Amino acid sequence: MRPSTPDTRQISGPESEDFEQLNRYWAAANYLTVAQIYLQENPLLREPLEARHIKPRLLGHWGTSPGLSLIYAHLNRLIRRTSAEVLLVTGPGHGGPAVVANTYLEGSYSEIYPAVGRDLEGLRRLVRQFSTPGGIPSHVGPATPGSIHEGGELGYSLMHATGAAMDNPNLIVACVVGDGEAETGPLEGSWKAPAFINPLRDGAVLPILHLNGYKISGPTVLGRRSDLDVAALLAAHGWDPITVAGDDPDLVHPALASAMDSAYISIRAIQSHARQEGVIGPARWPAIILRTPKGWTGPVAVDGVPVEGTSRSHQVPLGGVREKPEHLAQLETWMRSYRPEELFDDQGRLIPELAALAPDGGLRMGALPASRGVGGGDLAIPDLGRYAVGAVPRGALMHESTKPLGEMFRDIYIETADDPIFRLFCPDETNSNRLGAVFEATDRCLLESPVNGAVSLAEDHVSASGRVMEVLSEHLCQGWLEGYVLTGRHGFFASYEAFAMVGASMTVQHAKWLQHSRELDWRQPVPSLNILLTSTCWRNDHNGFSHQGPGLIDTVLSLSGSVIRVYLPPDANTLLVAAEHMLRSKDYVNLVVIDKQEHPQYLTLAEAREHAAVGASIWGWAGNESGGSSHVPAEPDIILACAGDVPTQETLAAAWLLRRHVPKLTVRVANVMDAMVLQPEDAHPHGLSREKFDEIFTTDVDVVMAWHGYARALHQLLHGRPNPERFHVRGYNEQGTTTTPFDMVVLNRVSRYHLVMEALRRARRQFMGSDELLEHCRSQLDAHAAYIREHFQDLPEIRNWVWSEPDS
């Protein structure tokens, strides 16, 4: 999207404005919020409230909702006055009924869900569906119009808002941050956004820190800090805060309106200056600090105990309304205090003068195209032939497998420069992960200037115009990308494998979001969340145990097969093919794992495409069946299978040893690139058919499997396959330290020698040479242990081993 020069004309102030209608609109939203929590019938109290009108189970959250509805109403006012495109991200955990109420009042909800019409029957359906079986959850989610952020996903709202604003120059992302959420580490990191938002090409983020003082059962830190302290905190992060505080609607409405007007004028002035004069340093973007009582306008006290303004208003303030007549009476008094009879007409419609306060058409926050994933369109992928790595003779070329991917990313940056819809997100590891070719096309994004004007060599390729997003936070990198792709753009998050676990819960929540979004035909399919894990457990021998952990594979494999994919390419060309597919895919979490160090290269680009199309195949050239053919009628004596680059190398070396020392033993070698193909067809869309699985792995031959991650993950995948107990899986088993590369596979018993010994033990037949080979393996392991302690490097026969035909 090309940036336009915004209209910076002053908008008239609120000094003489009558806020009575806006206050009534807020009352309507508050009324519908309470009605959703409590009622199953009698939605407008057209008859006296009785216990039978109350839901049998009371679920939902009231405390944060009045503040959210207040903000929504004022954003509506701002949009109507300015025609701004405003995306709302709501961070407070369970403000679902408030957001649903507001999208219903503006009409976007009924347009998406016609059964919940704007009449009395529609209101009945609205209240009955909330937190009930077959209805909607209590929090904001995919089914909530206008949302790109899951309620309850505490800590990630501001980073999602920031990602949504990137390369979206005409968008203002209003982000409500709850003071409970503000206590999380990810949110604290998110305040650094001004250092990365470029007003020339990005949209704006307007944080609204809503301080109501309490979490679910206790006070919040910022809620107890003074207005000056909180403002100083935001100012230190580069924001220009405006504080609005109070518990009198007559005073809060004009103050909040003035704050939003001021924020809008400031945003447009910053953008206009940048787009006419250029960017010099980070802008001091406005932020609003809104301090109002928790559970505002709700019961002041229940059973003599204070509720409004305390944590007791967090969920359901009146819990005994079906059993306690006094609670039922108090609920009716509370609901009637909003005067619903003056807000809705006889047919149950919002009265016209209040309905007119909502924006028109696509400017309604529940109908904004960006919130539905309408963004930059499909991404053109360059011809992979530009980056393909030679693979003849097989295994002879050593190459950094991720380096060609960086070259592909470089060219994507170049080819999308005029209409940017792609970014790489990486926590200070772009060069380390061998993706540094991107810096031939763009820089790291940072708007901060060097201290005292000094530019150090460490600050190469840093500029305000850069589109490589580097910040030393896995949370921020992944969260920014999530906001970016949920609004229709494309990208990759690259991380050291072990530390991607920092954002594992984010990955889980994103997958859940996509899983439910797929069920909603009104949501546009969005580009997939693509995660590249490199600096893997097997080759972090130099960093040690802390950097050795493949756990994200397990996390992702546990999620719904409808939305997750896990790729373990053995070399550079298969990585390129996987990345091409990932960038073209929609509505998935794609995880690809491959090391950045030099590794043998095995497949040509054409072979890589063929291999990836199936996801697993027999590497006939590595085995000794029928002269190396991939299509053989007879079953082998043993199958060596592998998934991942280091496991593949060790498996090939094991096959080489077996073929050399026990040539009459029939060995099949199979490589798995797409982990999901191992599952049965009914468990995952990529699952191999029974016939294809049997063709590769037979039905009863033992399989010695070298697996990149934890063995339990592979056993999980194989559940439901024929005789899964015949798969003898070797993987990472939490053995690691600072050591040599080969010692890592030895420590975890995935070395070529361990694989050979397991293969000989499991083979159908024994042949001459088996005993001698077993002894050779044991002696080599002993020699390895002694050699690395004396020479601090692996044995020459390990370091120098290259695949070849064993008799060559």
- Please indicate, yes or no, whether residues 713 and 789 belong to a single structural domain of this protein: yes
Domain membership of residue 46 (yes or no) is yes
Number of domain units in the chain: 3
CA atoms within 13 A on the CB side of 451: 0
628 pLDDT band (50/70/90 cuts)? very low
Q: In percent, how much of the chain has pLDDT > 90?
A: 89
Separation of alpha carbons 716 and 709, rounded Å: 12
Q: CA-CA distance, 138 to 100, in Å (whole number)? A: 10
User: What pLDDT shows up at residue 51?
Assistant: 96
Q: Return the closest-CA partner of residue 514 out of 157, 158, 142.
A: 142
Please report whether residue 697 resides in a domain. yes
Closest CA to 651 of 529, 750, 524, 797: 750
Q: Return d(Cα 491, Cα 423) in angstroms, integer.
A: 5
**pLDDT tens digits for 75-99?**
999 999 999 999 999 998 788 999 9
Write down the pLDDT at residue 280.
Answer: 87
Last residue of a domain, one of 599, 626, 651: 599
Residue 128 φ then ψ, to 5°: -70, -30
Please, how many CA atoms are within 13 Å of residue 717, restricted to the half-sphere of its CB?
A: 30
Average pLDDT, the chain: 94
Q: Which is more confident, 122 or 4?
A: 122
Spatial separation of the C-alpha atoms in residues 475 and 181, rounded to whole Å: 14
Does position 541 have pLDDT exceeding 80, yes or no? no
Tell whether the model's pLDDT for residue 629 goes beyond 80. no
Q: What is the pLDDT of residue 765?
A: 87
Q: Work out the percent of the chain whose per-residue pLDDT is above 70.
A: 96
- Which residue among 569, 599, 629 closes a domain? 599
Ranges assigned E (strand) in 385-502: 398-400, 422-425, 444-445, 462-463, 468-469, 490-496
pLDDT in tens, 567-603: 999 999 999 999 999 999 999 999 999 999 999 999 9
Buried-state track 503-530, b at ≥16 Cβ within 10 A, e below 16: bbbbbbbbbbbbbbbbeeeebbebbbbb
Helix, strand, coil percentages for the chain (3-state, nearest 5): 40, 15, 45
In a domain, 1, yes or no: no
The CATH number for 43's domain is: 3.40.50.970
Q: What is the mean pLDDT of residues 56-63?
A: 94
* 745 and 775 housed in the same domain: yes
Lowest mean pLDDT among 12-21, 642-651, 667-676, 739-748: 12-21
Least-confidence region, from 2-16, 165-179, 327-341, 516-530: 2-16
| 577 and 529 within one domain | yes
47 and 78, same domain (yes or no):
yes
Indicate whether 378 belongs to any domain: no
Q: Give per-residue burial for 662-673: e unless 16+ CB within 10 Å, then b.
A: beebbbbbbbbb
Q: Are residues 517 and 443 in the same domain?
A: yes
Token representation of residue 357: 């306060």
Beta strands in 341-421 (DSSP E): 398-400
More confident residue, 454 or 263: 263
Taking 90 as the threshold, does the pLDDT of residue 274 lie above it?
A: yes
Domain that holds residue 403: 384-453+460-599
pTM above 0.75, yes or no: yes
359 and 406 housed in the same domain: no
What pLDDT, on a 0 to 100 scale, did the predictor assign at position 455? 61
Angle, helices 645-661 vs 770-791, to 10°: value is 130
Are 474 and 361 part of one and the same domain?
Answer: no
Q: Which residue has the higher pLDDT, 200 or 629?
A: 200
DSSP line for 556-608: HHTS-TTTEEEE--SSHHHHHHHHHHHHH-BS-EEEEE--SSEEE----HHHH
Residues 336 and 428 in one domain: no
Report the CATH number that the domain containing residue 705 is assigned in CATH: 3.40.50.920
Q: Does 767 fall in a domain?
A: yes
Which residue type is seen at 278?
G
487 and 591 in a single domain? The answer is yes
Nearest 5°: the CA angle 681, 508, 184 is: 175
pLDDT digits (tens, 9 = 90+) for 456-466: 655 689 999 99
Domain assignment present for residue 7? The answer is: no
What whole-number distance in Å separates Cα of residue 181 and Cα of residue 477?
19
Is residue 147 predicted with pLDDT exceeding 70?
A: yes
pLDDT attached to residue 241: 98
At 205, is the secondary structure helix, strand, or coil? Answer: strand
SS3 at position 275: helix
The residue among 14, 561, 591, 635 whose CA lies nearest residue 265 is 14
Residues 580 and 633 in one domain: no
Domain end marker among 599, 630, 649? 599
HEC per residue, 659-692:
HHHCCCCCEEEEEECEHHHHCCCCCCCCCCCHHH
Residues 300, 352: one domain?
yes
Report the alpha-carbon distance of residue 393 to residue 206 in Å, rounded: 57
For residue 605, being part of any structural domain is answered with no
pLDDT of residue 548: 87
Same domain, 401 and 361: no
Confidence band, pLDDT 50/70/90 cuts, at residue 430: very high
Residue 191 lies in a domain: yes
